[in-house]
């Protein structure tokens, strides 16, 4: 009776499985184990599973076993760093995890030592860890090779279903199996196969041998002969059915810096994974491995400098590729532009210092969307290529290309590639059923002949296995599947760039929005708030110290050490809020430390500035520094808590000395229980606690439609997947408006500042808001304190404004993004929550309204309603995400003209970085402006000490999409360099204007 191809394939798989039970000829248990110095037996529970524990044992392999065929098999019950030490002092280290449990040895006598944790690669606790297996085996290499080859044939036949080659593959495999001389002794056979799934279902197995006999020499020889014949037949088939397509394999081990485990465990994962990769390189000249993230190498430099030296050697040999060029693989939606600059600046400098090279490829496989500012930042950091894979996760719409030019806000382009591997994405496998669909899914194959494929266990690290390396060699001789060889990421992109010069590749213009994981803009808002405060505190500290240097003080010290902490916590599973609670305890503590250090630096810089100001007769002086490029009216909070809000101007990047006695409030500030008013705004608070009227006096326009700052709770924030990551589009179908406040009262009524307090309760949570208007304010601040104790709920503010526009303006790194306010297409429908930095604006000709914030990122703009997500409370992976109290401020700002004409950006800057002041005595009143910027309005990124040599580095950017004249005015004896890149090196600049739309410009300032 003839069987179908499918039936024959099933039979082949069953018969192939049998070979695995005869893979070892003999085995020898390793006894005498200790657990933290105390004896532990095979299959015994760990005495405890707290922290890192240490196993130890000694092993001696039988003299009649060929050394090269001996393997150590271990399963200790978790993840381990395994070290084998030999009598001559030589040692070798490996990572031990569920995917790496078999190891070669270099001598017959050796000691075994581990550092182990009772956890699996994704952080899951092993709640009942045991010493499961510890033995030496004599590997029957012919059986092992044949089993693997037959397994790969079955995988190839499966994925090539319908291809003409499939019957030939099955024929060849069947002939190989029929040629075997196979054992059948009852006792040995039953004992060998007892572990099979089928046998484990039997009511009661007969008595089993402890160490059943393996294949005889003749039987093993029949497997060797079958393997050779089968490989020869595959080569013959390859002539008739050539390999189709080409994949460049890069060994990889994506290690999340922190995610379902704290950073302390990541430090151990690094050592385990890196040692595993090095051990594979020792045994394969072809294997290539890539690992990004300067932070990891800097940590290894501290934890295991000998390991770093071994890695450096492999980097020099071209086997280990330090890819990426950034400090970590960061989120790119939320960091400010200057943070992204520092990712590249400090990353590239580290790689160059320690490995003698810079990177040309940005490696961000796992991030949740990409800012349109990134292409320009990368190009200015010497990086012309970009890799990701997460764009394939979008739920509704997909970028139509996978090899394309990505064009950023300013027009800069980087060559971008993404592959679509359905088998674990960037954690791919070396096997036919991974290769074939990855090549099939490659849409750029008509323009370029190769796609990239990253392989190796990842997210929790681990990386490539010895079997993967062995599989690659076997698959070289297979017919019909894609050709796949180890190579370098850099080499792939070099070849792709040659293609791009010869052929016109598609272009994707602007941000790359991920239609998934939108809730990462809101979850864990505590770390987001501290991160923004840390960014701003460092930038301001550098600016104050640099201004002091321009007035005669010493050159400031680098704050790179603190910047590294901020950059580390921008990692794409920390800042987005998708990690466990322990990660956020660490992150908030670290960021608090940065903020504290930066505030000390600011205070020291203010004292230094004051010491370099002209002496005078003002005994009650207020020294005020404006660390931005926009003039601002004086608003300051004094040491005794007094608020000043005068009309006195503070010039950009200036130091101004005021006589406090002469400072008066700006105009007449009026307030009662439901009304606030100054010379710019008239505000009415309704009985529901919302803003019922917001009059912009300069135009006479009502800014809102109905009521603004409506607080809505959505109690069904329960995504179908990825609890901390996602918010499903139907969350709004059940909303509860908080419109019955427990209290409304006037709590401040001074000449400089007035405030109305509104208190709400929702179930177990409270929201307290202060509507604040200062005498000189052009915006209504809403100072908010939330005490949250309800799970899986989302709190948002909705603001219907009296404006009609088809687009809204969202601030992003180094510029803005214009997004549609309608839902005509599936692309717009999918963008129901999107990132904004300090403001979202809705304007029509002549008038607009902006929603500003100092700590939030998740926004929406639908029709005339600007929304912002304030807090959400998922239960996985942190059951207590955002539990408790948090405070932040957002603001409503009506304005005349477009957002850039109406002063939205200066007000957003002021909300996030108020003027900096110090009280002093014996100074002369007046203003010093060490640095002047003239021409088209631009925005400030940083003023910092140069990384090399003397001088300062100034970085500005054009924020609105305009071009024009720009010039610097420096103190006598100072000069500015020509244009620099972000690595602070001279570049050729070709722009027809002094500054072009969204351009980032950098100069070095130094004494001539």
Q: What's 806's DSSP letter?
A: S
Q: Please tell me the total number of residues recorded for the chain in this structure.
A: 1008
Phi, psi of 271 (to 5 degrees): -65, -40
1 has pLDDT over 80: no
Instruction: Please state, for a pLDDT cut of 90, what percent of the chain lies above it.
Output: 99
Tokens of 504: 């016109």
DSSP letters, 748-801, are EE-SSEEEEEEEEEETTEEEEEEEEEETT-SSEEEEEEEEE--SS-EEEEEEEB
Q: Quick: pLDDT tens for 556-570.
A: 999 999 999 999 999
Strand-pair partners of 39: 34
Q: Which secondary-structure segment (H or E) carries 597? A: helix 581-611
Q: Which residue has the tokens 């001389």?
A: 181
Tokens of 734: 């059940």
544 has pLDDT over 90: yes
How would you write 488-534 as a 3-class SS string?
Answer: CHHHHHHHHHHHHHHCCCCEEECCECCCCCHHHHCCCHHHHHHHHHH
Q: Quick: pLDDT tens for 12-25.
A: 999 999 999 999 99
The separation between CA 55 and the C-alpha centre of its own chain, rounded to angstroms, equals: 34
414 has pLDDT over 80: yes
Strand-pair partners of 683: 676, 694
318: left (phi over 0), alpha (psi -120 to 50) or beta: left
Q: Give the per-residue pLDDT at 991.
A: 87
894 has pLDDT over 70: yes
Tokens of 615: 């002496």
**What's the pTM?**
0.97
Q: Which of 24, 140, 304, 366 is catalytic?
A: 366
Tokens of 724: 């901390």
653-677 mean pLDDT:
96
The burial class, CB within 10 Å (0-12 / 13-18 / 19+), for 353 is exposed
Assign 396 a pLDDT band (cuts: 50, 70, 90). Answer: very high
972 has pLDDT over 90: yes
Closest CA to 182 of 230, 141, 215: 215
Instruction: Please state, for a pLDDT cut of 70, what percent of the chain lies above it.
Output: 100
The burial class, CB within 10 Å (0-12 / 13-18 / 19+), for 783 is middle
Q: Tell how strand 246-252 and strand 483-486 pair up.
A: parallel
Q: Give the per-residue pLDDT at 57.
A: 98
Listed as own residue / partner, the contacts of 675-680 with beta carbons closer than 8 Å and 24 or more positions apart are 676/754, 676/755, 676/756, 676/771, 676/773, 676/780, 677/773, 678/773, 678/774, 678/775, 678/776, 678/777, 680/777, 680/778
Assign 51 a pLDDT band (cuts: 50, 70, 90). Answer: very high
447-474 mean pLDDT:
98
The separation between CA 465 and the C-alpha centre of its own chain, rounded to angstroms, equals: 25
Q: Quick: pLDDT tens for 929-958.
A: 999 999 999 999 999 999 999 999 999 999
Q: Give the per-residue pLDDT at 937.
A: 97
Q: Would you tell me how many other CB atoms lie within 10 Å of the CB of residue 750?
A: 15
Q: Which residue has the tokens 């991030």?
A: 367
Q: What is the rounded CA–CA span in Å between residue 157 and residue 155? A: 5
Q: Quick: pLDDT tens for 340-349.
A: 999 999 999 9
Q: Quick: pLDDT tens for 832-884.
A: 999 999 999 999 999 999 999 999 999 999 999 999 999 999 999 999 999 99
Closest CA to 73 of 119, 42, 38: 42
Tokens of 6: 């499918």
Assign 1008 a pLDDT band (cuts: 50, 70, 90). Answer: confident
| Mean pLDDT, the chain, integer | 97
Note if 688 is an active site residue: no
Closest CA to 298 of 361, 351, 356, 359: 351
Q: What is the rounded CA–CA span in Å between residue 557 and residue 538? A: 12
């Amino acid at each position: 009776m003839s069987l179908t191809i499918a039936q024959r394939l099933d039979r082949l798989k069953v018969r192939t499985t049998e070979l695995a039970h005869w893979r070892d000829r003999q085995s020898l248990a390793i006894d005498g184990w200790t657990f933290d110095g105390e004896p532990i037996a095979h299959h015994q529970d760990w005495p405890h599973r707290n922290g890192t524990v240490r196993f130890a044992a000694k092993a001696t392999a039988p003299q009649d076993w060929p050394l090269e065929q001996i393997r150590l098999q271990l399963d200790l019950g978790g993840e381990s760093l395994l070290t084998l030490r030999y009598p001559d002092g030589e040692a070798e280290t490996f990572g031990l995890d569920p995917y790496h449990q078999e190891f070669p040895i270099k001598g017959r006598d050796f000691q075994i030592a581990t550092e182990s944790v009772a956890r699996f690669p994704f952080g899951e606790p092993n709640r009942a860890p045991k010493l499961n297996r510890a033995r030496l085996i004599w590997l029957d290499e012919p059986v092992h090779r044949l089993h693997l080859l037959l397994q790969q044939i079955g995988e190839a036949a499966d994925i090539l279903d319908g291809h003409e080659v499939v019957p030939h593959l099955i024929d060849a495999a069947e002939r190989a199996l029929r040629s075997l001389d196979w054992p059948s002794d009852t006792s040995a056979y039953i004992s060998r196969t007892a572990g099979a799934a089928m046998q484990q279902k039997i009511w009661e197995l007969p008595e089993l041998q402890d160490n059943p006999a393996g294949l005889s020499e003749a039987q093993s020889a029949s497997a060797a002969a079958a393997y050779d014949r089968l490989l020869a037949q595959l080569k013959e088939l390859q002539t008739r059915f050539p390999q189709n397509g080409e994949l460049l394999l890069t060994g990889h081990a994506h290690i999340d810096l922190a995610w379902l485990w704290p950073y302390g465990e990541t430090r151990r994962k690094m050592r385990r994974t890196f040692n595993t990769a090095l051990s594979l390189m020792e045994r394969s000249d072809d294997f290539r491995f890539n690992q990004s993230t300067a932070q990891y190498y800097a940590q290894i430099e501290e934890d295991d400098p000998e390991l770093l030296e071994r890695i450096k050697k492999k980097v020099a040999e071209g086997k280990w590729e330090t890819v990426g060029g950034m400090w970590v693989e960061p989120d790119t939606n939320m960091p400010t532009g200057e943070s992204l600059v520092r990712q590249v600046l400090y990353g590239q400098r580290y790689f160059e210092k320690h490995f003698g090279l810079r990177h040309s490829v940005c490696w961000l496989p796992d991030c949740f969307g990409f800012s349109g500012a990134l292409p320009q930042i990368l190009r200015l950091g010497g990086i012309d290529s970009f890799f990701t894979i997460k764009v394939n996760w979008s739920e509704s719409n997909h970028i139509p290309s996978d090899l394309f030019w990505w064009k950023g806000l300013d027009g800069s382009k980087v060559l971008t590639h993404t592959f679509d591997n359905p088998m674990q994405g960037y954690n791919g496998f070396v096997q036919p059923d991974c290769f074939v669909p990855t090549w099939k899914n490659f849409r750029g194959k008509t323009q370029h002949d190769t796609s990239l494929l990253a392989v190796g266990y990842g997210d929790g690290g681990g990386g490539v296995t010895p079997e993967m390396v062995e599989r690659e060699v076997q698959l070289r001789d297979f017919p019909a599947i894609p050709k796949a060889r180890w190579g370098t990421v850099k080499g792939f992109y070099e070849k792709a760039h040659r293609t791009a010069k010869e052929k016109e590749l598609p272009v994707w213009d602007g941000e790359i929005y991920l239609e998934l994981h939108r809730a990462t803009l809101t979850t864990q808002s505590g770390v987001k708030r501290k991160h923004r405060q840390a960014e701003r505190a460092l930038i301001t500290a550098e600016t104050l110290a640099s201004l002091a240097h321009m007035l005669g003080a010493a050159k400031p010290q680098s704050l790179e050490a603190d910047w590294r902490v901020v950059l580390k916590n921008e990692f794409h599973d920390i800042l987005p809020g998708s990690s466990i609670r322990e990660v956020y305890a660490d992150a908030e503590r670290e960021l608090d430390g940065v903020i504290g250090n930066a505030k000390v630096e600011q205070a020291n810089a203010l004292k230094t500035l004051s010491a370099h100001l002209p002496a005078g007769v003002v005994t009650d002086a207020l020294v005020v520094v404006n660390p931005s490029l926009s003039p601002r009216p004086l608003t300051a909070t004094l040491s005794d808590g007094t608020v000043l809000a005068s009309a006195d101007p503070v010039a950009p990047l200036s130091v101004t000395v005021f006589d406090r006695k002469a400072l008066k409030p700006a105009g007449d500030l009026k307030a009662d229980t439901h009304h606030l008013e100054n010379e710019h705004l008239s505000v009415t608070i309704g009985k529901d606690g919302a803003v019922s009227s917001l009059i912009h006096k300069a135009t006479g326009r009502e800014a809102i439609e109905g009521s603004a700052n409506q607080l809505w709770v959505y109690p069904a924030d329960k995504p179908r997947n990825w609890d901390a990551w996602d918010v499903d589009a139907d969350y709004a179908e059940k909303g509860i408006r908080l419109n019955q406040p427990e209290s409304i009262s006037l709590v401040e009524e001074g000449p400089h500042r007035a405030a109305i307090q509104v208190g709400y309760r929702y179930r177990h949570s409270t929201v307290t808001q202060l509507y604040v208007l200062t005498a000189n304010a052009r915006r209504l601040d809403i100072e908010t304190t939330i005490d949250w104790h309800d799970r899986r709920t989302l709190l948002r503010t909705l603001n219907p404004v009296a404006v009609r526009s088809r687009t809204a303006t969202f601030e992003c790194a180094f510029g803005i993004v214009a997004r549609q306010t309608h839902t005509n297409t599936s692309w717009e429908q999918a963008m129901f929550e999107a990132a904004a930095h300090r403001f979202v604006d809705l304007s029509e000709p002549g008038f607009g309204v902006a929603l500003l914030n100092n700590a939030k990122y998740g926004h929406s703009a639908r029709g005339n309603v600007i929304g912002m997500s304030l807090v959400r409370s998922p239960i996985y992976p942190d059951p207590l995400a955002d539990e408790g109290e948090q405070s932040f401020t957002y603001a409503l700002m009506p304005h005349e003209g477009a957002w850039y004409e109406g002063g939205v950006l200066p007000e957003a800057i002021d909300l996030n970085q108020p003027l900096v002041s110090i009280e002093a005595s014996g100074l002369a009143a007046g203003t010093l402006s060490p640095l002047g910027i003239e021409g088209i309005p631009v925005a400030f990124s940083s003023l910092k000490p140069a990384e090399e040599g003397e001088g300062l580095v100034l970085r500005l950017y054009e924020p609105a999409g305009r071009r024009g004249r720009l010039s610097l005015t420096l103190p006598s004896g100072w000069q500015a360099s020509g244009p620099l890149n972000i690595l602070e090196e001279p570049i050729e600049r070709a722009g027809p204007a002094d500054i072009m739309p969204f351009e980032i410009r950098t100069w070095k300032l130094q004494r001539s």
